[in-house]
Amino acid sequence: MTQEIAVLSAKPDVALESSAVRKVFVKTYGCQMNVYDSDRMTDALAKDGYVATDVMEDADLVLLNTCHIREKAAEKVYSALGRLRDLKKKKAGEGREMMIGVAGCVAQAEGDEILRRAPAVDLVIGPQTYHRLPEALQRVKRGERVLETDYAIEDKFEHLPAPDKAKTKARGVTAFLTVQEGCDKFCTFCVVPYTRGSEVSRPVAQIVAEAQKLVDAGVREITLLGQNVNAWHGVGANGEKWGLGDLLHRLTQIEGLSRLRYTTSHPRDMDDSLIDAHRDLPQLMPYLHLPIQSGSNRILKAMNRRHTTAEYIALIARIKAARPDLALSGDFIVGFPGETDEDFEDTLRLVETVGYAQAFSFKYSTRPGTPGADLGDQVPEDVKAKRLERLQALLLKQQNEFAQACIGKTIDLLLEKPGRMPGQLIGRSPWLQSVNVDANASQIGDIVSVRITGAGPNSLFAEVVS
């Protein structure tokens, strides 16, 4: 009898499974946290029978995970939606349904406008509500156009599935892990406090469990993510208060986890225990993304960064005293309202003083709703463009100098993926540079000793030291 029931119920299940295989195409814009979130959404959808596809035309669901940081980033979404509308129409003509969802920071900031401007969109979902995605899709299936952009009261991470072992394997030997989300800093140029909400730290146990899962699936290097990752705080096993330094210590106890990184840090939140971690933990890579945005104290004040250039330079000296081989990367904005030639020269001087291994730089982009948008004295586009060109030339020169200085050094390389040529692999140096080396595909995931032999524009070349 029992068997009969089993057989009976097996039949509809099988039928359900074959018809239930649906495909999701996810396009990710913006920062690493969006990359992480896209993977979590894909994992959450797997429970409903969705498999990821790289071919947009094959998808039953297209999700755009969007970025609102600059005007250009946000505009990309609307042009992508125009193309998707045509695809949806074409597929409907062939009798195939395609759902369109918009996630990420544009969804959070402009949800209503997206639904108004883009009638083909079925679903808008903000970063705080991704755990509600499967349910939201059910509502779409019932004919609703869904807008989910509340700041969720429940913990999204508790409800999102942990990384799937097979998928993690396919994603490779490095992984992101969000430990902190949101921002309370309110820099006057920035949308993030509005799109990602206020600062929330994930609990230690949740982070450790996720890291362990990643390592069990073959991950060797984890980058801890947060908009203000060094503001992460939690409670240790004995009830004591923990900062990011303590969390890093705890993570180094996971056997097989060879490398740790964290990004992005705010200069005001680099505490002593985090600086000490750079001295004490060999697993913590000697590379730090520590944006300052401008080298002018007047502009830093107007940006509400709440520190001076002198404090930033002193801080870097302390971190480098703890870890002398540490290299820095940063972010810069040129043409913030009121920025004079003199302010800009201060930025160039600061870059000369600090010396960056890599840095990102942008023209200031006015963001609706931020205090910067209301400031007078906006800098003309052509002035911004000229300043950006000069700054980028200097940063590129420093990047090349840093790469050249690596030639001849013997370093540890984490072998990550196949290279362009057969018999070649690409790995990451401790300073996050791509390094090409002759090695066997079976060595992916190994950390090997290599000697740097040359430097190209975007990567280094090396040979394995036997």
Partner whose footprint covers residue 195, from ligand F3S, ligand SF4, ligand SAH, none (CB < 5 to 8 Å by kind): ligand F3S
Binders of ligand SAH in range 320-339 (CB under 6 A): 331, 333
Least distance between ligand SAH and beta carbon 181 (Å)? 11
Q: Out of 163, 182, 243, 291, point to the residue binding ligand SAH (CB under 6 A).
A: 291
Least distance between ligand SF4 and beta carbon 233 (Å)? 16
The verdict on 270 binding ligand SF4 (CB under 6 A) reads no
The verdict on 263 binding ligand SAH (CB under 6 A) reads no
The verdict on 185 binding ligand SF4 (CB under 6 A) reads yes
The verdict on 30 binding ligand SAH (CB under 6 A) reads no
Query: Dihedral sign, CA of 144, 147, 151, 156?
Result: positive
Binders of ligand SF4 in range 193-222 (CB under 6 A): 193
Least distance between ligand F3S and beta carbon 108 (Å)? 8
Partner whose footprint covers residue 367, from ligand F3S, ligand SAH, ligand SF4, none (CB < 5 to 8 Å by kind): ligand SAH
The verdict on 190 binding ligand SAH (CB under 6 A) reads yes
**Chain residues that interact with ligand F3S, rule: CB under 6 A:** 30-31, 33-34, 67-69, 104-105, 191-192, 195-196, 227
Nearer to ligand F3S, 229 or 316 (CB): 229
**How many other CB atoms are found less than 10 A from the CB of residue 251?**
23
Q: Are the beta carbons of 42 and 60 closer than 8 angstroms? A: no
Q: Out of 38, 128, 178, 227, point to the residue binding ligand SF4 (CB under 6 A).
A: 227
The verdict on 365 binding ligand SAH (CB under 6 A) reads yes
The verdict on 433 binding ligand SF4 (CB under 6 A) reads no
Binders of ligand SF4 in range 271-330 (CB under 6 A): none
Cβ-in-10-Å burial (0-12, 13-18, 19+) of 240 comes to exposed
Partner whose footprint covers residue 437, from ligand SAH, ligand SF4, ligand F3S, none (CB < 5 to 8 Å by kind): none
Q: Out of 45, 99, 183, 425, point to the residue binding ligand SF4 (CB under 6 A).
A: 183
Partner whose footprint covers residue 85, from ligand SAH, ligand SF4, ligand F3S, none (CB < 5 to 8 Å by kind): none
Which residue ranges make up the site for ligand SAH (CB under 6 A)?
69-70, 189-190, 192, 227-228, 264, 266, 291, 293, 331, 333, 362, 364-365, 367
